[in-house]
């Protein structure tokens, strides 16, 4: 071992090699800092007087499968300028850490291919230490998410866990990256985001979201220049809920014979017709349920037509299509369809904005599934900050999702 091997092999530079000890299968390097290189950690002045030392040991890269540590008496110095006594900085380790920078870099490299547990086992350290290394790296990169270049956003809330807990997530549609995670749902969850967005002076052009009044109010107030695009999956989902309600009402008033047909038809009604299973006689069963009841059939075919709205070639055609759909729903005489038509009319501008921006909250779906996977890992609730940092890093394939 030599001073130069310490530098080239372990990234330790500016220290003198003293000796090596082999204890219990572990390699221990003792090093020292030359007197002339002592500096005040506050002002970097060399006019310092040595006032004792603290012996510190740092984990560093392994040699083969052998654990390696570096021990250094870290000097305490009194600065003649600042007039305080402090421990000098250690060049090869971050403040208060018990491992070297090269050890952290190596662990981060392994984390790209392995879970936290795997890396901890491989390096012979605790799970917490590797998690700390990853967390510090995530903090460095995601503590401040740059928002200046944001143009198109998607906002949605997701429920996670079994305790009715919600997160509100904002996605940069251009990069596919999460730029904000808020606790809870509704407009309150977004407040810290608006604050940061204002500071960044980003020029937001369009926001994809569902038709919830809270989001509409928040975006209209906070981003008066942005266009709202109502997400088409949310709209169809909302219509499906109405369709289910209608079926339930009809079921309630049906005769026993009718009930037999209606029973189990809920999924058939909600399913996209192209996905019906012929082998299980699903198209036929759907047809029977529809034949039984005219309002149900009307609602069902209106649903299929509604989905077609987003297949229209351009804004102008889509506007005509939407107007005619609403007219038919209103003319149906079925109360919940009439209500739905008036909802769509009220939100028409935002619905048709799809044809100007072609965005949706769809890309958030995938992200939300990944967040739920993350949350199922035990650390989801134990360390909230780490959990959120991992969400900000989801668009990267930098780390294994499972920790
Ligand atoms: Zn000083």
Answer whether residue 403 shows pLDDT above 70: no
Whole-angstrom Cα distance, residue 369 to residue 360? Answer: 16
Length of the chain (residues): 403
Q: How far is the CA of 76 from the centre of ligand 1 (A)?
A: 12
Least confident of 3-12, 34-43, 49-58: 3-12
Q: How far is the CA of 75 from the centre of ligand 1 (A)?
A: 14
Q: How far is the CA of 39 from the centre of ligand 1 (A)?
A: 8
Residues 310-338: what's their mean pLDDT? 95
Contact residues for 17 (Cβ-Cβ < 8 A; gap 6+)? 1, 2, 3, 5, 6, 29, 31
Percentage of the residues of the chain whose pLDDT score is greater than 70: 97
SS3 247: helix
Whole-angstrom Cα distance, residue 156 to residue 209? Answer: 6
User: Is the overall model pTM greater than 0.85, yes or no?
Assistant: no
Q: Which two tokens stand for residue 194?
A: 């608006």
Radius of gyration, CA atoms only, the chain: 31
Whole-angstrom Cα distance, residue 238 to residue 102? Answer: 53
Answer whether residue 19 shows pLDDT above 60: yes
SS3 337: helix
Answer whether residue 402 shows pLDDT above 60: no
* Distances 123 to 28, 129, 180, 245 between C-alpha atoms, Å: 16, 10, 34, 57
Residues 12-20: what's their mean pLDDT? 92
Q: Return the closest-CA partner of residue 154 out of 88, 230, 207.
A: 207
Q: Return the closest-CA partner of residue 357 out of 188, 235, 216, 207.
A: 207
More confident residue, 92 or 272: 92
Q: How far is the CA of 96 from the centre of ligand 1 (A)?
A: 20
Whole-angstrom Cα distance, residue 84 to residue 184? Answer: 46
Q: How far is the CA of 58 from the centre of ligand 1 (A)?
A: 26
- As beta bridge partners, residue 19 has 30
Q: Which two tokens stand for residue 381?
A: 């609730």
State residue 379's pLDDT score.
62
Q: Which helix (H) or strand (E) holds 67?
A: strand 66-79
Residues 183-203: what's their mean pLDDT? 92
Q: How far is the CA of 10 from the centre of ligand 1 (A)?
A: 29
SS3 24: coil
Burial class (CB in 10 A: 0-12, 13-18, 19+), 178: buried
Q: How far is the CA of 357 from the centre of ligand 1 (A)?
A: 57
State residue 264's pLDDT score.
74
Q: How far is the CA of 264 from the centre of ligand 1 (A)?
A: 79
Q: How far is the CA of 140 from the centre of ligand 1 (A)?
A: 27
Q: How far is the CA of 77 from the centre of ligand 1 (A)?
A: 9
Percentage of the residues of the chain whose pLDDT score is greater than 90: 65
Answer whether residue 160 shows pLDDT above 90: no
Q: Return the closest-CA partner of residue 393 out of 28, 135, 64.
A: 135
Q: How far is the CA of 194 from the centre of ligand 1 (A)?
A: 41
Answer whether residue 86 shows pLDDT above 80: yes
List the helix and strand counts (H, then E) for the chain. Answer: 18, 10
State residue 305's pLDDT score.
94
Q: How far is the CA of 47 from the centre of ligand 1 (A)?
A: 8
Q: How far is the CA of 88 from the centre of ligand 1 (A)?
A: 10
Only one residue has tokens 């407040």, namely 191
Whole-angstrom Cα distance, residue 9 to residue 311? Answer: 61
Only one residue has tokens 């879970």, namely 115
User: How does the average pLDDT of the chain come out, rounded?
Assistant: 90
Q: How far is the CA of 143 from the centre of ligand 1 (A)?
A: 29
Nearest-10 crossing angle of helices 294-308, 232-253: 180
CB atoms within 10 A of CB 52: 11
Answer whether residue 286 shows pLDDT above 90: no
Query: Is residue 105 within 8 Å of 112, Cβ to Cβ?
Result: no
Query: Is residue 3 within 8 Å of 16, Cβ to Cβ?
Result: yes
Q: How far is the CA of 13 from the centre of ligand 1 (A)?
A: 22
For the segment 223-276, what is each residue's pLDDT rounded down to a tens digit? 999 999 999 999 999 999 999 998 888 888 888 877 777 777 777 877 788 888
For the segment 104-153, what is each residue's pLDDT rounded down to a tens digit? 999 999 998 898 999 999 999 999 999 999 999 999 999 888 899 999 99
Query: Is residue 117 within 8 Å of 131, Cβ to Cβ?
Result: no
Query: Is residue 286 within 8 Å of 276, Cβ to Cβ?
Result: yes
Query: Is residue 126 within 8 Å of 118, Cβ to Cβ?
Result: no
State residue 162's pLDDT score.
76
State residue 292's pLDDT score.
74
Residues 91-100: what's their mean pLDDT? 94
Q: Return the closest-CA partner of residue 165 out of 361, 382, 381, 390.
A: 381
């Amino acid at each position: 071992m030599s001073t130069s091997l310490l530098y080239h092999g372990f990234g330790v530079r500016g220290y003198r090699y003293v000796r090596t000890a082999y204890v219990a299968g572990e390699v221990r390097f003792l090093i020292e800092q030359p007197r002339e290189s002592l500096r005040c950690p506050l002002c970097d002045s060399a006019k310092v007087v040595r006032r004792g030392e603290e012996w510190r040991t740092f984990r560093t890269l392994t040699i083969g499968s052998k654990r390696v540590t570096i021990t250094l008496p870290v000097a305490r110095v009194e600065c003649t300028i600042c007039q305080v006594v402090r421990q000098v900085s250690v060049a090869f380790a971050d403040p208060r850490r018990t491992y070297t920078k090269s050890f952290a870099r190596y662990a981060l490299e392994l984390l790209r291919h392995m879970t936290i547990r795997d890396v901890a086992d491989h390096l012979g350290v605790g799970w917490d230490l590797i998690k700390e290394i990853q967390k510090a790296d995530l903090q460095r990169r995601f503590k401040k998410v740059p928002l200046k270049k944001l143009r198109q956003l998607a906002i949605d809330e997701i429920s996670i866990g079994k305790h009715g807990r919600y997160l509100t997530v904002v996605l940069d549609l251009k990069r596919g990256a999460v730029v904000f995670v808020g606790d809870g749902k509704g407009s309150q969850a977004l407040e810290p985001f608006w604050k940061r967005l204002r500071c960044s002076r980003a020029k937001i052009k369009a926001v994809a979201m569902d038709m919830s009044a809270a989001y509409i109010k928040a975006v209209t107030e906070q981003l008066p220049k942005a266009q709202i695009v109502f997400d088409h999956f949310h709209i169809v989902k909302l219509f499906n809920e109405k369709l289910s309600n209608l079926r339930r009402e009809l079921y309630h008033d049906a005769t026993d014979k009718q009930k037999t047909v209606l029973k189990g038809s809920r999924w058939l009604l909600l399913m996209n017709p192209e996905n019906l299973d012929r082998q299980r006689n699903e198209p036929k069963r759907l047809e029977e349920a529809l034949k039984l009841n005219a309002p149900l059939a009307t609602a069902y075919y209106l649903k299929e037509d509604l989905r077609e709205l987003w297949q229209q070639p351009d804004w102008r055609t889509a506007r005509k299509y939407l107007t005619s759909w609403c007219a038919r729903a209103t003319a149906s005489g079925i109360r919940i369809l009439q209500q739905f038509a008036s909802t769509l009319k009220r939100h028409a501008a935002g619905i048709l904005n799809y044809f100007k921006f072609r965005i949706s909250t769809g890309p958030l779906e995938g992200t939300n599934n990944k967040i739920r996977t993350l949350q199922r890992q035990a650390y989801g609730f134990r360390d909230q900050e780490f959990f959120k940092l991992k969400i900000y890093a989801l668009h990267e394939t930098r780390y294994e999702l499972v920790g």
